[in-house]
Amino acid sequence: MKNIYSVLLLGQFLGCIQSHVIELDQSFLERKNEGMWLVEFYAPWCGHCKKLEPIYHQVSVTLKSHPVRVAKLDCTRFSSVASAFDVAGFPTIKFINGDKVYTHRGERSEEDIVEFVKKASGPPVRNMASIGKFNEGKQEHRDGVFFFYAGDGNFENDLYKKYSNVADKMAAQAYFYAGTEKTLPKDVKPAKIPTVLVFKDQAWFEYSAPDTSMSSLERWINGERFTSFPKVSGGNINDMAESGKSLVMFVVNPEDREKFDLTHRIKDVGKTMAVKYREIFHSDFQFLWMTDVETVNSITMAFLATPVILVLNTQTHFFYFPDFVISDITIDKMSDFLNKVREEKIEPHGGTGFFQRLKRIFYDIFTTVISIWQSSHWLFLFMFGLPTAVVSIVCYSICCMEVTEDSQEEDSEFDEEEEYLPPEEIDQETENLQSSKPFHEKSD
């Protein structure tokens, strides 16, 4: 009896969780302006969507007191809605507030999705009016990144307008604050006022590009909105690619006890390169580490084993492997390798050529088939087994029909050959026919 009650309570609990997620349909195109929405665009057969489902439900529970409405939409049933929001893959999570639409490009974890909503739903530029507020913000973002416009109280100048425009465009990707010079702590002394600062890695850096155009400011913010050596998953790669930098990827497996020391040595070298060698490599490279080897396999269209070190040029889609054995990694060898990549003195792989695109098609088909098989054997058999059986039956029928027609033609030819008579027999047969004419027929 207790077990029955436990099952019922669990069912009620799961039902409550599920009730927070709104199932959308075609009418969402008319309802999208009714406040703020967090929408997951999914496909029922997608394995990644199924993996996200319990996480997304928990997000809806966490945000139940937030004004944003958490919903999802089946793109296989309502493809026109998915097309209207430029959905190109599954799952895709978007924050929609009227005409403002932001796509979540970070990790698909509860914390990351909730953080995405907090950024997108707040004002693009948040005000910091005192040192106390500044310290609170710094504490809140101690492990992350935030930008700060420091001015003289005049928020009508050209730099602030550019900063505000960039913040409005990138509201879901970073935190933007503004205040006066007096808001800053005493140990933060910018070279000029007004200016834009970034705070990360327990340090701060100032925007100092000679070109003060909006595009220049946006490039600088794009290049600074990640910590020096973050841990990322496959979902962050596309977001980081927008920085325009080459990505230096250290892929390790912390659970591999046999390579425990090597894993830590690789990460130490990567962090040292990113932090202590910032002035040398930061303008061209974004360092990161990850445990998701499938992302690297997708980039290289291969099946690699950890540890892997890869440099990806996000503009040309070329990638580079180290010219040294990974187990012999040192800071000097890594520095030499990155300099060769920067100077194009090392052989590239990949790219966007015809054969690479063709290879990508076959690789995507193969991995999609494997994904469907892993998510549902029955769906795999229905999608591939049934059509294969139908095609086989049709081909067999066609082959049998051709054999039958050939045999009929041969029989026809054989019959014609049997009816053939020599000329002399034909003449004799003609005379016999003439002699057997009815008596009432008249001859010529």
- The residues assigned a catalytic role are 46, 49
From CA 245, how far away is CA 316, in angstroms rounded?
Answer: 11
3-state DSSP assignment of residue 179: strand
Q: What own/partner pairs with CB < 8 Å and gap ≥ 24 does 189-193 have?
A: 190/150, 193/150, 193/151, 193/152
Residue owning tokens 């004419």: 437
Contacts of 22 (CB under 8 A, 6+ apart): 69, 70, 71, 72
H or E stretch covering 311: strand 308-312
Q: In this structure, which amino acid lies at residue 88?
A: A
Tokens read off for 267: 């990460």
From CA 79, how far away is CA 200, in angstroms rounded?
Answer: 41
Contacts of 163 (CB under 8 A, 6+ apart): 125, 147, 149, 176, 178, 196, 217
Q: In this structure, which amino acid lies at residue 189?
A: K
Q: Say if strands 349-350 and 246-251 run parallel, antiparallel, or are unpaired.
A: unpaired
From CA 367, how far away is CA 303, in angstroms rounded?
Answer: 11
Specify whether the CB–CB gap between 311 and 345 falls below 8 A. no
From CA 167, how far away is CA 163, in angstroms rounded?
Answer: 6
